[in-house]
A = this chain, B = another copy of it.
Amino acid sequence: MTQAPPASGLSAATLDALLSTRGKDLPPPRIGDPRKSADLISFMSGFPDPASLPAQQVAEATARAMEKDGRWALQYGATMGYTGLVDALLDKLGRHQGIRAGRENVLITAGGSQAVALTLDLLVDPGDTVLMEEPTWMGFVYALNNLGAKSVGVPVDEHGTDLEALERELKRLTAEGVRPKLIYVIPNFQNPSGVSTTLARRKRIVELAHEYGTLILEDDAYYDLRYEGEWLPPIYTLDEVGQTFYLGTFSKIMGAGMRLGWLVAPPAIIGKLATLKIDGGTNVFGSHVAAEWVPRHLDDHIAKLREIYRRRRDLMLASLARHMPEGTTWTTPEGGFFIWVTFPEGVDTVKMLPQARERGVEFLPGRTCYAQDRGHRFLRLSYSFAEDEQIDDGIRIVGEIARGELLETGRA
């Protein structure tokens, strides 16, 4: 996207002299246009299923919101969020997540991403250290890179965050005089690995945060989309001291285009974040629409989504068993959007991607989910966006390409 300025344009030297630390050496924009995925069998992104998006209901909710309160829906809004939506969210969090909170605990944000950005702005200076699961959500890796912060990765195994590694890194950093600013975790159906962190581990993460005096940023974007297994309480509800920030979003359960998310945290934190949040209120119009839609439709919609995504997951798992080369393994997520595939040595998923696109398929190379140049044997498959009928074809093509890679490197 970065193009040379016009011939008469702003000189590169002038611009370079004016850039901030974070403005220098920026890579090209890393998140492009979702519509580019529309012509492919796309397993690449955490996009909700297009056909399930409640367009008609949203149109009706808009008509009601405009009728009832159009003057305020089209006006600047409160920094903390539209109270109608805050109240609907508090009700949802109480009923679904078991989170008891008041208005003073909530900040409505422009998707989960604004919640992440504000949290990082509040806590992290360039050069500061943050602990995160690795692999993790690429948007978090990008945000840290933009800030010039250091990340320390903690692996994820089939029971979630690797606690031995977490404790080891906390000890090591403390010995070096470094206090990590936060621990970023995705305990449910982790993005990208699909695994969930057990209750025992959740409790221990809280203890470690207390012991080492750091904060937890709990990203629970997929909480409601559990297809099997036991519902586990959010880390936020296990932390009686209040060192956990709980991040969620309507992106996966209403529509990502609403760009509405939230952060739940102690009032002292919410107040500080609100000072940093100079935005005229988060998407006031969309908030009024969501406040109409959520009480009436959210629970039914979640139930419907669970059916759709459970079926997609099962289709993809069956296709993987059919088409992947020997020695390939993958996770079996109990919810969420993602399956994490591990290929035998000799496969580089970054190299596979152009071949896959050539054949009309895309996925996310595992490399994208690491801060360093690692993860080339992995890939993340999302089963949320492609249609049922596309899944087997797409997985077959990915399997064929992987098999070709293995042949080429003499390992198959």
A contact set with B: CB distance below 8 Å: 1-6, 8-10, 14-15, 17-23, 26-35, 45, 47-48, 50-51, 53-56, 58-59, 62-63, 66-67, 70-80, 104, 110-111, 113-114, 116-117, 121-125, 128, 139, 142-143, 146, 179, 181-182, 213-215, 240-243, 251, 254-259, 266-272, 274-286, 288-289
Contacts and interface: CB of A to CB of B under 8 A. Distances in A.
B280 A242 contact: no
Contacts of A242: 5-6, 8-10
A75 B285 contact: no
A280 B256 contact: yes
A213 B17 contact: yes
Nearest to A182: B18
Contacts of A117: 278-279
Given A4-B268, A278-B142, A75 B257 contact: yes
B26 A275 contact: yes
12 contacts: A2-B272, A6-B242, A18-B215, A23-B121, A33-B78, A35-B72, A50-B75, A53-B74, A55-B71, A76-B251, A113-B278, A113-B280
A8 B240 contact: yes
Contact of A8 (B33, B51, B241, B278): B241
Nearest to A58: B66
Contacts of A20: 121-125, 128, 181
Nearest to A65: B59
Number of copies: 2
A268 B15 contact: yes
Contact of A259 (B14, B32, B281): B281
A63 B57 CA distance: 10
Given A110-B283, A116-B278, 10 more contacts: A1-B104, A1-B271, A2-B271, A3-B268, A31-B280, A59-B70, A73-B255, A111-B280, A142-B278, A257-B281
Given A75-B255, A285-B286, A288-B257, A9 B280 contact: no
A49 to B, nearest CB: 9
A62 B53 contact: no
A117 B280 CA distance: 12
Ordered nearest first, which 5 A-B pairs have the shortest CB separation?
A55-B70, A74-B255, A2-B271, A257-B284, A33-B78
Contacts of A34: 72, 75-78, 281
A18 B251 CA distance: 29
A275 B28 contact: yes
A122 B3 contact: no
A47 B286 CA distance: 18
A59 B63 contact: yes
Nearest to A261: B280
Contacts of A2: 267-268, 271-272
Nearest to A2: B271
A183 to B, nearest CB: 11
Contacts of A32: 78-79
Contacts of A29: 79-80, 271, 274-275, 277
A121 B22 contact: yes
Given A123-B18, A278-B142, A241 B23 contact: no
A231 to B, nearest CB: 25
Given A1-B271, A182-B18, A284-B257, A53 B70 contact: yes
